[in-house]
Amino acid sequence: MLGMKRLALLFIVLLATQLSCARRSATGAGPAASPSPAEQAAIDQILQRYEQALGGRQAIDAVKSYRMKGVFQIVGLKGTIEGWHKQPEMSLLVMNFDGKGTLKKGFDGQTRWVQTPAGTFSDSSPQEIAELERDSEVYSAGNIRGLFDSLKLENKARLNGRDMYVIEGKPPRGPAEKLFFDVENGLLVRWDMARKQEGRGTVFVRVHLNDYRDVDGLKVPFNVRFAFESFNFEVQVQELEHNLAVDDAMFKKPAQ
């Protein structure tokens, strides 16, 4: 179960929706090179169109909390997943592995924690926390700029027969990442991330965002697939509810 903990810490938080819009401050990095005015205008247009494709700023800002339910599969394991988020930053994710036990990960606004049958652990690594914060914002149209120190426009790419705009973002910590936006509909369809892992160096993962559906005027990817170098982790959202009354106490770190 300790191995399950480290696996979950890598990517679990991003499994809900694009509704977490709290901006986080960027620290620990020097000033980034500024793009040319033409390049900056193109980046602004792509990100603005992405926001509009999701439903617009008003629809994004209207969501203050959510609850999602779904199923997942990873390296031969299957199970159910349920997540809650409450603005500005509180979150809880519960994964039930069929026949293997339950994993919980939460953040109460101050403490990040993960609980397995082996015990409850605090998540205190600055690098790991920074990566998880970006993971949790995979769906957040309103926060993409705030996740990176600099953005750079790259050449167009082709994915599954469709043209993509490609933006490279340099986060405050860790390697640069790439975001692929569909030229035709404006949606974010892939996010290439890199992770530093002890003893393994850099580990790459391609996050595929599929099956966008309208929920209360906001488009949400109901299928998310993490393609690692040697395995896939896939989540299928089945239910999503917005603006529920959520007690802050549910996000607190459990007693040992």
pLDDT digits (tens, 9 = 90+) for 17-43: 232 332 233 334 455 567 889 999 999
Q: Domain tally for the chain?
A: 1
Query: Does residue 251 fall inside a structural domain?
Result: no
Tell which residue, 84, 99, 68, has the closest CA to residue 224: 68
pLDDT band at 197 (very low <50, low <70, confident <90, very high): low
Query: Does residue 116 fall inside a structural domain?
Result: yes
Query: Does residue 248 fall inside a structural domain?
Result: no
Residue range of the domain that includes 115? 2-14+34-240
Query: Does residue 164 fall inside a structural domain?
Result: yes
Which CATH number covers residue 155? 2.50.20.10
Mean pLDDT in the chain?
Answer: 79
Query: Does residue 187 fall inside a structural domain?
Result: yes
CA–CA distances in Å: residue 176 to residues 149, 151, 166: 10, 9, 13
Query: Does residue 125 fall inside a structural domain?
Result: yes
Query: Does residue 20 fall inside a structural domain?
Result: no
Tell me how far the alpha carbon of residue 181 is from its chain's centroid: 16
Instruction: Give tens-digit pLDDT for 114-151.
Output: 888 777 776 555 444 444 444 545 444 556 777 888 99
Query: Does residue 246 fall inside a structural domain?
Result: no
